Amino acid sequence: MRKVLIIAVLAIFALGACHGKGDGQEKGKVKDNSPVTAKAGEGNVTQGSVKMNAEQQVEELTKQAEKGNAEAQCKLGKLYFEGSDEIERDRDKALYWYVKSAEQGNAEAQYGAGETYLNGHGARTFNECYEKAVYWYEKASEQGNPYAQFRLAFMYGEPMYRRVLEKDTEKQKYWYGKAAEGFKQLAEQGNAEAQSMLAILYGGGLGVEEDDEKSKYWKAKSIEQQLEQGIDEKLKKQAEQGNAEAQCELGEFYYNVGSNDIHRAGVEKAKYWWDKAAEQGNARAGYNLGYLYSDDGYASDVQDYKKAGYWYKKSAEQGYLDAQKAMGYLYCSGSAVVDGEEDYAKAIYWYEKAAKQGDAEACITLGDIYSQGGQGVKQDYVKAESWYDKAAELGDADIQYEVGDLYYAGEKIEQDYAKAKAWYEKAAEQGNSDAQYSLGILYADGKGVKQDYAKAKSWYEKAAEQENSNAQYELGMLYYDGNGVEEDYEKAKNWFFKSSKQGNEDAKKMLRENF
């Protein structure tokens, strides 16, 4: 079962604070760009020694911003971007003030402008938004803003931005490296968000040599800081006043920051707030409690299968999607949470509830159950095929590719190359490289289509552009055998080499035995 509860919060999705002077930053030093200032109602703007309320704060910031103060413009942009109970979110105003400040060279505002554009504001099309986002990220990155550098590196490697930014592994590596340098400076100053980002970079080998020990170290340091300082005081106040949603969210905060041996106390705090929220009927909190009580990991000291079953079922009955899928999984697997009862009929009941809410994974699982049969359910390939098709019809490219594979293999449902092709095409059109590669296979082998090496080559190339090693290998074979192309051992060798660099064993064998 996918553990969907723990949410990895990346700093790149949180706007940096704006406390620069509008002229970049001192060379060699990195400013603290974490989201800790310029929040409405926190008194970041004062008049004399008098603390201002949110309305007064915006009024004073606006006066300063209209006079050309880049720092005030940036803070105003952040206030409008995030919004609050006191200030209505207004992304147009946010962008206006961010750009005003950014044009004066404020790196934090440049990053903020990039984030606003990336969220789809300020241009007619997404591609235009992405182009402008890249422009401002580059400006901020050149001034040493590590959040912008991280975002820019991410975009260089992400297929969805290909129309505005070509894949460039060297630039991606460069900007990840720069981001790592900046986050390290901030992390050593005690910035929890930077410590968390540094843990991610070390954990993934992004811009630095992969190092699990350093990743764990910085994550632990971050957790220490967050547990003490990362609480949203407004959220905590709402929770204390009885707001169930705030109680649930606060519990999730404690659960996430306490998810290791150093901060087991976080689990207890999470449990406390989820109990409060669930007692008020909050379905998500009930699901969280079900997960907590069923967990056999670091929270094993609170494990209680009976309570887990109670809260999962209660949440599922309230219509909470993840709880419905959890109940389905528990009955499929015969979990101790449901007293070891393996019952596909009951699993189907809950998965169908989830499927009606448009969940593709639930549809896939229902297809698997009917394809397999057993435990009170008659094997039914027609129903299996129906559920697989429903999953793919929901539009997720990965699911469409998966369903295409099911039709291609013919193991769980009747083999049908035409239907495999149809779903591969749907996924391929959305940029799924595995589907593009699979279409190449169909055309190369003439399965469900007329054999056409030219079309096979075209689909292989699309997948290979996304570093699909199987497609690279097949392109090498086309050139090696001269199928649909002029025989060219040099091109074949080049594709085999690219594929082998990603670990493809077939490509390694071709190089070893033939070149």
Q: Give CA–CA dist 208/403, Å, rounded.
A: 38
Helix, strand, coil distribution of the chain in percent, nearest 5? 65, 0, 30
| pLDDT, tens only, 479-491 | 999 999 999 999 9
Q: 50 burial class (0-12, 13-18, 19+ CB within 10 angstroms)?
A: exposed
Q: What's the pLDDT score for residue 282?
A: 97
pLDDT above 90: percentage of residues in the chain = 66
Count CB neighbours of 351 within 10 A.
29
| Helix 107-118 × helix 146-157 angle, to 10° | 40
Q: What's the pLDDT score for residue 11?
A: 37
Q: What's the pLDDT score for residue 71?
A: 95
| pLDDT, tens only, 128-168 | 999 999 999 999 999 999 999 999 999 998 888 888 888 88
| Those residues with Cβ within 8 angstroms of residue 511's Cβ, 6 or more apart along the chain or in another chain | 493, 496, 497, 500
Amino acid (one-letter) located at 459? W
| pLDDT, tens only, 247-305 | 999 999 888 875 555 557 678 889 999 999 999 999 999 999 999 998 755 555 678 89
Total-model pTM: 0.52
Is 249 in a helix, a strand, or coil?
helix
Whether 175 contacts 149, CB under 8 Å? yes
Q: What's the pLDDT score for residue 30?
A: 52
| Those residues with Cβ within 8 angstroms of residue 154's Cβ, 6 or more apart along the chain or in another chain | 12, 172
Examine the pLDDT at 507 and tell me if it is beyond 70: yes
> All domains of the chain, ordered by start, with CATH?
11-229 (1.25.40.10), 233-318 (1.25.40.10)
Q: 142 burial class (0-12, 13-18, 19+ CB within 10 angstroms)?
A: middle
User: Which of residues 198 and 6 earns the better pLDDT score?
Assistant: 198
Q: Give CA–CA dist 76/37, Å, rounded.
A: 11
Q: What's the pLDDT score for residue 85?
A: 78
